[in-house]
Structure 1
Amino acid sequence: MKRYRPFILLSLITLAACKKNISNPVSDLPPSTFSQAFDEFWNELNVNYVYWDVDTTNWDAMYQRYKPLFDSLKIDDTADLSKSVGYFRQMTDGLIDHHFSIAFTNNVLKDSSVIPSYDQWRKDPAFRFPYSYIGTDERYLDSGYRMGNNLLPGSGNYVLAVSGTIHGNILFFTCNQFQLSASFGSVAGNGVQLVLNYFFQRLENPTGLKAVVLDFRDNPGGDVNDLNFLAGHFIDQSLHFGYTRNKSGNGRLDYTPWIDAAVVPQSGAQAVTLPVIILADKYSQSMAEIMTMALRTLPQCRVVGETTFGATGPFAANALYDDGSFSLPGFLSVTTSSVEFKYIDGKMYEGKGFPPDYPVAFNVKALDTLDDPQMDKALSLVQ
């Protein structure tokens, strides 16, 4: 699922024209030996990974260390297949790309995966499991709020959206994932469409409102189109929020020039001048982070909560960028960012997360009593 790409058509044309010539392409056939599988994996990541300019992983050292280990494995041996998963995990453990993952398509390994970002998070002393805030959000909302869902045809994605007011004058919106544009154009009258219509109408007619609160906590991201679709309702002119570039050659540091990343306003949208407060947490990922970062460039927007997950690099089909994700047929599939993203402040937040303006720690004891310290802080800023 594509989660993000540059948002100006010119950028897409420019990037798509910058193709690499791969000197050692992956075979169309499944690897016949572990030596072949290792070489193809190492070479593809060596060429396609977009964060080599900032990632401290010594990829050459990984080759020297793990090449003999893979050479000693037999690809038709079940125990060796299982052992290889551990080697792949160790090799990639320090990668900063928080979209990076390995899914194994080999029948023996189909239930195995490698997700370095999650492994890194599990080792953090602050590790916690996700928490759904919908129940506590409802406690703060005035009666008459809108809640609707939609099951997207084809993908089967379940989308939930909620909007209403708090204290009669603070407009609120949240969703469980960013599949809003697809839901809006889905079956007429579906629940998400009705919620979005309400929210957009209130944005366009803000009489009586004094602030907007957006809750992007516990949101794994989603569709790239939602950036323009949602954030584009807050602006009446292009909003420059960062820069992107991708690989242009086989060298680790062969890159295209940086180009602007910008949100395009929706037709008929007007600039929102009300204070905008965004709630974010460790499980705000990918498009939830990009949405937060883009809106944060508005002068009246602030972020409350925790530092986000750190998966800011967009990924798309390899055919578009000729870098990023790749696969070894019949053995494994790698997801990794296609584009390197740098925020408007010149910093990269990949693998680190975007920090809040007002840090408020996760407090499960308070949440269990339906009190939300992060929401309380957000509301205190606009009272």
Structure 2
Amino acid sequence: MVTRINNLINKINSRWGRSALLLLVLSSTLGACRKEVKPERLTSYYGRSYTEIFEAFWNGMNTNYMFWDVETVNWDNMYKTYKPRFEYLDQTKNDPQNPQRAVQFLVDMTKDLADSHLSLSFNGLTDYMISGYPVTGTNVFNPSAIRHQLRGDELYVPRSTFDVIIPKYYLTKAEMGTGTANDGTVWRINMGIIPRNNKNILYLEYKDFELQSQYYAVNTTANPVKPVLDNFFRYTKDPSIDGLILDLRGNPGGSVPDLDFLLGRLVTSPVHVTNTRTRNGNGRLDYTPWVKGYVHPQQGSTDFKKPIVVLVDKNSVSMSEMTSMSIKAIWPNAKLVGEHTWGGTGQIPSSDVKYMGGQFVAANFVQVYCAGVELRDVNMVCYENKGLTPDIQIAYDTTAIKRNIDVQLEKGLEVVTK
């Protein structure tokens, strides 16, 4: 259990594009001088004692966290409960277990918060307990990842399903492109046609949402991504294509501009698909007005009018969920097939300093990574920590896949060819 939790935390944080920040050790923090804080937005909160670390963290969350409007955790009660505990650490400042206790307190304060992008990064490796299970040898705590693990959610659909079984046993005119992700892992896109019930279904799957910025624009591999996507866009205009399956299973999200890049090729006028807002002050409920988000048509786009199915699962996160809800907004008859999605729809701005909410550092003891933009669908439904429910629910079948049968894809084909 412990190993699986640690592995899942590492995967989630690496895929969500976290950049590590070298924090000062606690001993340096306790002796540091207080610095001036920029008035426009607080991204660093300073402290020289455990009590001040607590105040920095509590105030940082109070000011920067995006989801207080839907949060079930009583943050004022957290202040009343944990401030005395941090004060006690200062009274026993020579106890070598104090840094570990401070970590556990911060974990306990945040373990039930809704933001699925939220993670705490501590200086060095640390140990803590979650629901009776020890988590050891990690410097990152991601509440959402651990909640999913403790609920017994299935692990990821293996890449062999996408890269071997589907191209070999389902696709005709199969095309594959590769690239190298920022974390050094191999990135792959799979595209082709699936003939079924005398119809031709266009299929597209890719590892994460970095289509335009990384893999379409800059790709020098032996199998470039650009020709694959160019052919995909060409197929969407081909009258012989009878439907589309977009496979977002296990896709952890990525770049928001990919929404226009991908779906903007399939519409000829702007379509309202989401609503977003940010923080506009240091008060807990200081928010900007809601702003409508649109998918914008791209050069050479046409209206796609064929049936659409999106395959999703418990590990479809962030941009996968945003794309799914956008498709449902543009094409109300489109269907989500598979499993309940993760529930991490908040956005991480590319330049957080422009926003009043988002990531910050508390007393140089912990870096807090969290959403800086709250997102809801066109009907103002919030999916954070809830996820999207598929129109047709069907679990991944590990037994059937050994016979080269992907039951979720089979169900998607059944739906899209009706």
Paired residues of 1:47 and 1:251 also in contact (CA < 8 A): yes
Aligned to 1:222: 254
- The CA deviation string for residues 235-279 of structure 1, in whole angstroms up to 9 with x for no partner, is 111121121111112221111111101111211111111111100
* TM-score (norm: length of structure 1): 0.87
Secondary structure (helix, strand or coil) at the match of 2:173 reads: coil
Q: 1:198 aligns with which of 231, 239, 244?
A: 231
Alignment match, 2:294: 262
* Pick aligned residue for 1:114 from 113, 119, 141: 141
- Identity of aligned pairs, percent? 33
Distance 1:176 1:311, change over 3 A: same
* Counterpart check, 1:350 vs 2:384: yes
Partner SS state of residue 233, structure 1? helix
CA drift of 1:139 comes to 4.2
Q: How far apart, in 2, do the equivalents of 1:328 and 1:213 lie? A: 44
User: Which residue in the other structure is 2:354 paired with?
Assistant: 320
The worse-fitting range, judged by mean Cα deviation, of 209-218 and 259-268 is 259-268
Kindly indicate whether the alpha-carbon contact (under 8 Å) linking 1:163 and 1:195 is maintained by their aligned counterparts in 2. yes
Tell me the equivalent position of 2:170.
141
Q: Would the alpha carbon gap of residues 25 and 173 (structure 1) be closer, same or farther in structure 2, given more than 3 Å must change? A: closer
CA distance in structure 2 between the partners assigned to 1:52 and 1:381 by the alignment: 39
**8 Å Cα contact 1:312/1:349 also seen in 2:** yes
What residue is the counterpart of 2:156 in the other structure? 130
Q: 1:185 to 1:24 in 2, by over 3 A?
A: closer
**d(CA) in 1 for partners of 2:113 and 2:97?**
26
What is the rounded CA distance, in whole Å, between the counterparts of 1:329 and 1:355 in structure 2? 40
1:251 is aligned, of 283, 286, 301, to: 283
Cross-structure match for 1:334: 368
Find the aligned partners of 1:25 and 1:221 in 2 and give their Cα distance. 25
* Distance (Å, rounded) in 1 between the aligned partners of 2:304 and 2:280: 39
Match of 2:416 in 1: 382
RCO (CA 8 Å, sep 6+): is it higher in 1 or 2? 1
Partner of 1:151: 180
Tell whether 2:335 aligns with 1:302: yes
Local SS of the residue matching 1:232: helix
Residue 180 (structure 1) aligned to one of 208, 211, 228: 211
**Cα pair 1:2 1:224 within 8 Å, conserved:** no
1:162-220 deviation line (CA, Å, top 9, x unaligned): 0000017111000011111121000357522222122111113x221111111000111
One-letter amino acid of the counterpart of residue 138, structure 2: D
Structure 2 letter corresponding to 1:72: Y
Between structures 1 and 2, the one with greater strand share: 2
Distance 1:188 1:68, change over 3 A: same
Q: Does structure 2 retain, via aligned residues, the 8 Å contact 1:238–1:264?
A: yes
How far is the alpha carbon of 1:325 from its aligned partner? 1.1
CA contact (8 A) 1:85 1:114 kept: no
| More moved, 130-139 vs 80-89 | 130-139
Partner of 2:118: 100
Once superposed, which parts of structure 1, at least 4 consecutive aligned residues long, lie more than 6 Å away?
A: 1-4, 22-25
SS in 2 for 1:83: helix
User: Closer, same or farther in 2 for the Cα pair 1:184/1:77, shift >3 Å?
Assistant: farther
User: How far 1:329 sits from its partner (Å)?
Assistant: 5.9
